[in-house]
Amino acid sequence: MSVKLGVEGGFMNIPELELDYAPKLGNKIDYGIGIVGAGAIINVAHLPAYRKAGFRVVGITDINRERAVETAQKFDIPKVYMNVEELVTDESVEIVDIAVPAQHQRKIVETVVAAKKHLLCQKPLAEEYAVAKAIVELAQSAGVKLAVNQQMRWEQATRASKTLMERGWLGTPITAGIYVSILTDWRAWGWLLSVERLDIMYHSIHYFDSLRFLFGAPERMFCSASRAPNQAAKGETRTLTIMEYDSGLRILVDVNHDNWTEDCHATFRFDGTEGVIQGTYGLLYNYPHGRPDTLEFMSRTRQPGYWFRAPLQGRWIPDAFVGPMGSLMHAIETGGEPETSGADNLQTLQMVHAAYRSMKENRAVSPREIQA
């Protein structure tokens, strides 16, 4: 999606500048997709995105057959399988999209790779780093492509920021921050109420992955976490994470899931030697429907003193969910690797576990310390 910058109020217009931030698809997008899981994320994100992109979903299964049937009817999916074993024996299934809680993912992956099917896994790939590494090795040994659904890389403001950075608008990064203060009702995902590792593992992992996509992996991380009094969820719901880079770059991720006021926000700001990029993540203002992101940027040398505004189109849910599947399809077609391959995702999980080790040991931790 190429969008020209429009003038709005005191914001400047640069007709020749286009931000091309939509997911890129290969020549072949009709691979047969089999879905494992018929929960909320499949219904509000995966399947609406695949329908918009023109992907071909051939079947679905879920431990709750009634839910699978209902989803199949809603999205015109031709087959409902009794179980994963039946799904992978269907020759029309070429890619298996797994959308189940992390603790159930390895067993399903074992069945899928044994059938030599390519797969898109839910994030986190696993709650334990050693298990995640074993999953990646399983796929590699079987010769199948494995991607992880870290779709925030294709979220509109994130992708457009990457484009601006590659074109030199930011210069050398100096500071960056993501600031989220929202009210999250964890009861919408009942199984998450009992997990001991919550925000970093299941929410801020998005920010960690997108920041690594934009800036690379940090050298050191320090993370502090807490819970709100009398909260229903067992795990952490407030986190502060500092990422340090040898270049001098410092990043802060500040997340609060217990903001009961109407003054909720989900913002970001990236400062560099040549410019500033800032905006909002629209999804988090009205999850899961959300609103479009905002993106503004300023240059020290290109019309200095003026903010430029990009009118971003689309939304994180469902549009960004085209990205991981589209990247996987392109990798299958070309023999390359998906952008969010399993091997790549291990680096994000090293950051996640470095944050938890930092919480536990009250010290800065290098992601490289995390090994299976």
Does 312 have pLDDT greater than 50?
Answer: yes
308 lies in the same domain as 161: yes
281 and 240 in a common domain:
yes
**How confident is the model over 253-278, as a mean pLDDT?**
97
Residue 50 belongs to a domain: yes
> Which of 11, 16, 312 shows the shortest CA–CA distance to 159?
312
Taking residues 211-223, what's their average pLDDT? 98
State how far the alpha carbon of 184 is from the alpha carbons of 46, 175, 187, 229, 253, in Å: 21, 27, 9, 15, 17
Q: Are 187 and 248 in the same domain?
A: yes
Q: Do 95 and 182 fall within a single domain?
A: no
pLDDT at 223 over 80: yes
CA angle, residues 135, 110, 217, in degrees to nearest 5: 15
| Domains contained in the chain, number | 2
Q: Which residues of 118-150 are buried (b: 16+ CB within 10 A; e: fewer)?
A: bbbbbbbbbbbbebbbebbebbeebebbbbbbb
Task: Give me the mean pLDDT over the 20-34 stretch.
Answer: 95
Mean pLDDT score across all residues of the chain: 94
pLDDT value of position 311: 83
> Does 359 fall in a domain?
yes
CA distance 206 to 89: 33
Same domain, 177 and 300: yes
Q: Is the domain of 72 the same as that of 156?
A: no
pLDDT tens for 157-195 read 999 999 999 999 999 999 999 999 999 999 888 899 999
Residue 198 placed within a domain: yes
Residue-number span of the structural domain to which 90 is assigned: 32-149+331-337
Cα gap 277→291, rounded to integer Å: 19
Sign of CA dihedral 149, 150, 153, 155: positive
Does one domain contain both 58 and 186?
A: no
Q: How far is CA 107 from CA 101, 117, 135, 302, 315, in A?
A: 12, 14, 9, 53, 32
Q: Is residue 170 part of a domain?
A: yes
On whether the CB atoms of residues 318 and 45 are closer than 8 A, the answer is yes
Question: Would you say residue 207 lies in a domain?
Answer: yes
Assess whether 165 and 117 both reside in one domain.
no
Q: Quick one: pLDDT band at residue 12, thresholds 50, 70, 90?
A: low
CB 370 within 8 A of CB 129: yes
pLDDT for 69 beyond 80? yes
Whether the predicted pLDDT of 83 surpasses 80? yes
Tell me, yes or no, whether 194 lies in a domain: yes
| Same domain, residue pair 175 and 141 | no
Q: What is the 3-state secondary structure (H, E, C) of the chain?
A: CEEECCCECCEECCCCCEEECCCCCCCCCCCEEEEECCCHHHHHHHHHHHHHHCCEEEEEECCCHHHHHHHHHHCCCCEECCCHHHHHHCCCCCEEEECCCHHHHHHHHHHHHHCCCEEEECCCCCCCHHHHHHHHHHHHHHCCCEEECCHHHHCHHHHHHHHHHHCCCCCCEEEEEEEEECECCHHHHHHHHHCCCCHHHHHHHHHHHHHHHHHCCCCEEEEEEECCCCCCCCCCCEEEEEEECCCCCEEEEEEECECCCCCCEEEEEEEECCEEEEEECHHHHCCCCCCCCEEEEEECCCCCCCEEEECCCCCHHHHHCHHHHHHHHHHHHHCCCCCCEHHHHHHHHHHHHHHHHHHHHCCCECHHHCCC
Which is higher by pLDDT, 16 or 38? 38
For the stretch 115-168, pLDDT in tens is: 999 999 999 999 999 999 999 999 999 999 999 999 999 999 999 999 999 999
**What is the amino acid identity at position 361?**
E
pLDDT at 17 (0 to 100): 60
CATH number, residue 131: 3.40.50.720
**Is residue 22 a part of any domain in this protein?**
no
Residues in contact with 113: Cβ distance below 8 Å, sequence separation at least 6, in sequence order: 119, 138, 139, 141, 142, 144
Of 133, 155, 145, 131, nearest in space to 211 by CA: 155
Q: Would you say residue 5 lies in a domain?
A: no
Residues 184 and 49 reside in one and the same domain: no
For residues 220 and 77, membership in a common domain is answered with: no
The residue with greater pLDDT, 22 or 369, is 369
pLDDT, position 9:
40
CA–CA gap between residue 360 and residue 372 (Å, rounded): 18
Average pLDDT rounded to a whole number, residues 284-293: 91
Shared domain for 211 and 95, answered yes or no, is no
CATH number at residue 243: 3.30.360.10
